């Protein structure tokens, strides 16, 4: 999730540098004012009209609601349903930290900006508040009335303090005294102890006190910040319980023993709350001299940005809610009264505290193509044939193996790699470190501004530099989101390039959870193109012409417009015409207008958009031929695939790192690559799976609402993700 500020801050390229790309766009731009409907006497429809576009932030919020709905799916294991409910909280945190914060920032500084839907930020915030209020209330209702009772039936209990027996209470008190009291710092509020500066998303308590302390002070209020180093869930010893898994909230302990923190005082009330702050990082790129140093200086401020949301126990007296509102300068619409723990994301610790495989997803073994099993090295396999992998159903290990073998192979001279989200101690990073220590020329392009991974990426850069890698940070103002690996190997008298291109990150963990394509090839023209992209990232120079790759911000956007317009032309000529696009988000106005034009021309357009979608399908005369679905299931849909029918010729099929959003197409470094033959046929088959899905597919209506697909009476249930599991995994 990226802030709109990124786009606004991006520097403008010199006109000479983008001449080639602009020429490709000029013809398409000139056609935007022309009607493509028949007959020509009709008045052209205004495809820029605000009513044709869904608000981007509200659409993004609707995706989070679809995630919440998964917690009610009876076909999912119980603990996985709990995880979906908690992921909703995690997603909503980021939504407020970045997206809501940006709208509030615009209002604060009088810099209101509207998108193609023309919704003013104030109106947008009102709608966000309404939707969040309804769905946060639903979330706690699901938790308290469905998930917790079903977990209790399975022997997993969250033991309330009113239900502790004598032995349990004694154990909890001892745990509290040994683990909480030494690190907790209660703060009485008086002139010498002003309201503390509370960390973003931390658990806190506002306490009503009665009595005077040792100094004769009688303030009546105190704040207890819960130590962030402590777990939010503690498991009771089995010998103190009658079977099952018995867990206690840290908040329950603090509630029960709060008086121990204020000796001689009486607790009249203790209420938990949590504040969410603006966590976006903004830069004046013209003032930056050292990106890494600037970023290090900004990271600390993320914890203490402007307050954007207050979550508080719904039993809290209104006077204390108003007091906190004044302290944090937030309005009534930013307050969420909740019926349960305010920091639900920390409940994810249940996965480590409860060993119940029967309540989790059934494990599977990702498949590996026979060619990659049989050959002695990945180099030999790729020399014989290129490989396309679909994670997580097919293993990510061949990608790691390619890099590991390159690190050890004396014939390998150089390795170039982009890293957006990974881990400091990941297998990929370990292989790069080993390669550098073995004398290879290792160049790594690290995107320091991968949101919420900035600190990790700074540490990663330090580790790679210490190992002898050449580390660069891409292009200031343009996030490097491309997924590229290039290996140069001496084979006889020639240098051979081996490449990996992907739709996802070089992260073994997410490769088990996210759906992504990996393409590995020894095609030399592709290798030459990847080499040129790395030259653009690490050096300086004019735009270079690529033979097999399309890259943003230069040619990818123009190529997609060209492909859409070609399908529209074919449809008007009475030829077969179809477009299928599978991405995480569709927001870029020019692409949307082009899709509207294609629909008007008669092109069948199927859009598989996981998250944000500004396009309105099903509008008579404009988008009648467009269908939009969102797949939400066990795995996070993350592949970016573009399919164009191409009439009497072979279809054009592309994979890419880019969504169809402004930031990806116009303000980031991205790559798209074309696939043909068996790979293109395979991708088409897998896209058809998603379009057949009638169990986890949500259909977008023209009013912006989504409806879950259901099998017809004579139709068998079909899940795309389950079918792919059957096809590739074991």
The CA-based diameter of the chain, rounded to the nearest angstrom, is 90
> Smallest Cα–Cα separation from 656: which of 513, 546, 510, 556?
556
- Report how far Cα 280 is from the mean position of its chain's Cα atoms: 15
> Smallest Cα–Cα separation from 306: which of 276, 336, 282, 335?
276
**Cα–Cα dist 47/570, whole Å:** 21
463 is in an annotated binding site: no
Neighbours of 51 (CB within 10 A): 11
625 is in an annotated binding site: no
Active-site option among 391, 481, 500, 507: 481
Sign of CA dihedral 413, 416, 421, 424: positive
**Cα–Cα dist 391/367, whole Å:** 9
Burial of 28 (0-12, 13-18, 19+ CB in 10 A): middle
**Cα–Cα dist 660/611, whole Å:** 11
For 360, the 3-state DSSP assignment is coil
Beta strand segments in 528-609, E: 549-552, 578-583, 604-609
List C-alpha distances in Å: 197 to 229, 230, 306, 329, 477.
17, 19, 11, 13, 32
Please state the φ and ψ torsions of residue 643, each to the nearest 5 degrees. Answer: -125, 130
304 is in an annotated binding site: no
Q: Give yes or no for a contact between 658 and 481, defined as CB atoms under 8 angstroms apart.
A: yes
**Cα–Cα dist 379/395, whole Å:** 17
Q: Give yes or no for a contact between 702 and 687, defined as CB atoms under 8 angstroms apart.
A: no
**Cα–Cα dist 200/558, whole Å:** 41
667 is in an annotated binding site: no
* Region label for 666, one of left (φ > 0), alpha (ψ between -120 and 50) or beta (otherwise): alpha
454-467 and 291-299 helices, crossing angle to 10°: 140
696 is in an annotated binding site: no
**Cα 382–384–389 angle (5° rounding)?**
45
Q: Give yes or no for a contact between 169 and 163, defined as CB atoms under 8 angstroms apart.
A: no
Q: From edge to edge, which strands make up the β-sheet containing 245-249? A: 156-158, 245-249, 233-235
- State how beta strands 187-188 and 221-225 pair: antiparallel
Q: Is 649 a catalytic residue?
A: no
Rg (CA), the chain: 28
CA atoms within 13 A on the CB side of 290: 6
3-state helix/strand/coil string of 239-254: HHCCCCEEEEEHHHHH
351 is in an annotated binding site: no
**Cα 30–32–38 angle (5° rounding)?**
120
**Cα 271–274–278 angle (5° rounding)?**
160
**Cα–Cα dist 526/532, whole Å:** 10
* Residue 75, both tokens: 């076909």
Q: Strand pairing partners for 418?
A: 445
Annotated binding site: 91, 421, 451, 514, 610, 638
Q: Mark the binding-site residues for Mg(2+), compressed into ranges.
A: 421, 451
Active site residues: 481
Annotated binding site for ATP: 91, 514, 610, 638
């Amino acid at each position: 999730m990226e802030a709109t500020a990124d786009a606004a801050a991006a520097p403008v390229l010199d006109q000479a540098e983008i001449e080639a790309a602009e020429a490709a766009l000029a013809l398409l731009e000139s056609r935007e004012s022309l009607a493509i409907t028949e007959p020509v006497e009709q008045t052209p429809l205004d495809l820029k009209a605000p009513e044709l576009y869904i608000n981007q932030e509200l659409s993004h919020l609707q995706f989070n609601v679809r995630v919440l709905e998964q917690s009610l799916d009876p076909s999912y294991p119980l603990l996985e349903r709990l995880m979906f409910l908690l992921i909703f909280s995690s997603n909503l945190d980021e939504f407020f930290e970045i997206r809501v914060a940006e709208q509030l920032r615009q209002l604060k500084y009088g810099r209101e900006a509207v998108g193609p839907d023309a919704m003013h930020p104030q109106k947008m915030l009102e709608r966000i508040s309404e939707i969040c209020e309804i769905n946060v209330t639903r979330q706690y209702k699901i938790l308290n009335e469905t998930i917790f009772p079903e977990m209790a039936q399975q022997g997993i209990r969250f033991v309330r303090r009113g239900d502790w027996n004598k032995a349990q209470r004694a154990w909890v008190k001892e745990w509290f005294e040994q683990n909480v009291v030494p690190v907790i710092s209660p703060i009485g509020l008086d002139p010498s102890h002003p309201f503390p500066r509370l960390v973003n998303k931390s658990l806190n308590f506002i306490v009503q006190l009665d009595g005077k302390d040792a100094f004769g002070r009688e303030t009546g209020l105190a704040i207890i910040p819960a130590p962030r180093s402590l777990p939010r869930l503690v498991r009771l010893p089995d010998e103190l319980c009658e079977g099952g898994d018995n867990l206690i909230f840290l908040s329950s302990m603090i509630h029960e023993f709060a008086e121990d923190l204020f000796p001689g005082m009486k607790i009249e009330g203790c209420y938990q709350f949590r504040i969410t702050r603006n966590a976006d990082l903004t830069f004046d790129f013209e003032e930056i001299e050292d990106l890494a140093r600037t970023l290090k200086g900004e990271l600390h401020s993320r914890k203490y940005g402007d307050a954007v949301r207050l979550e508080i126990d719904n039993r809290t007296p209104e006077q204390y809610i108003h007091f906190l509102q004044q302290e944090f300068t937030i309005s009534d619409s930013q307050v969420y009264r909740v019926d349960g723990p305010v920091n639900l994301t920390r409940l994810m610790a249940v996965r480590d505290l409860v060993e119940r495989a029967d309540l989790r997803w059934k494990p599977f073994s990702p498949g590996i193509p026979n060619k990659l099993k049989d050959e002695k090295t990945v180099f030999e396999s790729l020399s014989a044939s290129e490989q396309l992998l679909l994670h997580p159903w097919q293993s990510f290990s061949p990608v790691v193996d390619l890099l590991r073998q390159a690190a050890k192979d004396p014939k390998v001279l150089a390795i170039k790699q982009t890293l957006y989200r990974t881990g400091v101690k990941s297998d990929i990073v370990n292989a790069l470190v080993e390669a550098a220590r073995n004398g290879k020329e290792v160049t790594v392009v690290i995107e320091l501004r991968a949101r919420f991974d900035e600190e990790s990426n700074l540490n990663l850069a330090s580790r790679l530099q210490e190992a002898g890698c050449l580390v660069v940070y891409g292009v200031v103002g343009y996030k490097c989101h491309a997924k590229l690996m290039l290996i140069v190997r001496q084979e006889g008298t020639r240098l051979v390039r081996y490449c990996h291109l992907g739709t996802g990150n070089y992260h073994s963990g997410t490769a088990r959870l996210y759906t992504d394509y990996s393409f590995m090839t020894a095609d030399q023209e592709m290798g030459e193109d990847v080499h040129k992209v790395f030259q653009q990232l690490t050096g300086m120079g004019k735009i270079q012409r690529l033979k097999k790759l399309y890259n943003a911000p230069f040619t990818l956007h123009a190529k997609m417009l060209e492909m859409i317009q070609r399908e529209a032309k074919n449809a008007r000529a009475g030829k077969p015409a179809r477009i299928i696009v599978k991405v995480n988000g569709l927001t870029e106005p020019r692409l949307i207008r082009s899709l509207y034009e294609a629909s008007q021309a008669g092109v069948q357009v199927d859009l598989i958009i996981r998250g944000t979608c500004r396009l309105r399908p099903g509008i008579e005369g404009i988008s009648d031929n467009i269908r939009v679905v969102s797949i939400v299931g066990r795995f996070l849909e993350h592949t970016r695939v573009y399919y164009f029918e191409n009439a009497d010729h072979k279809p054009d099929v592309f994979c890419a790192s880019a969504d169809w959003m402004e930031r990806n197409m116009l303000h980031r470094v991205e790559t798209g690559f074309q696939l043909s033959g068996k790979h293109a046929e395979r991708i088409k088959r897998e896209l058809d799976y998603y379009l057949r899905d009638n169990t986890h597919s949500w259909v977008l209506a023209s009013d912006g609402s989504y409806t879950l697909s259901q099998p017809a009476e004579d139709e068998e249930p079909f899940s795309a993700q389950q079918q792919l599991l059957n096809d590739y995994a074991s």
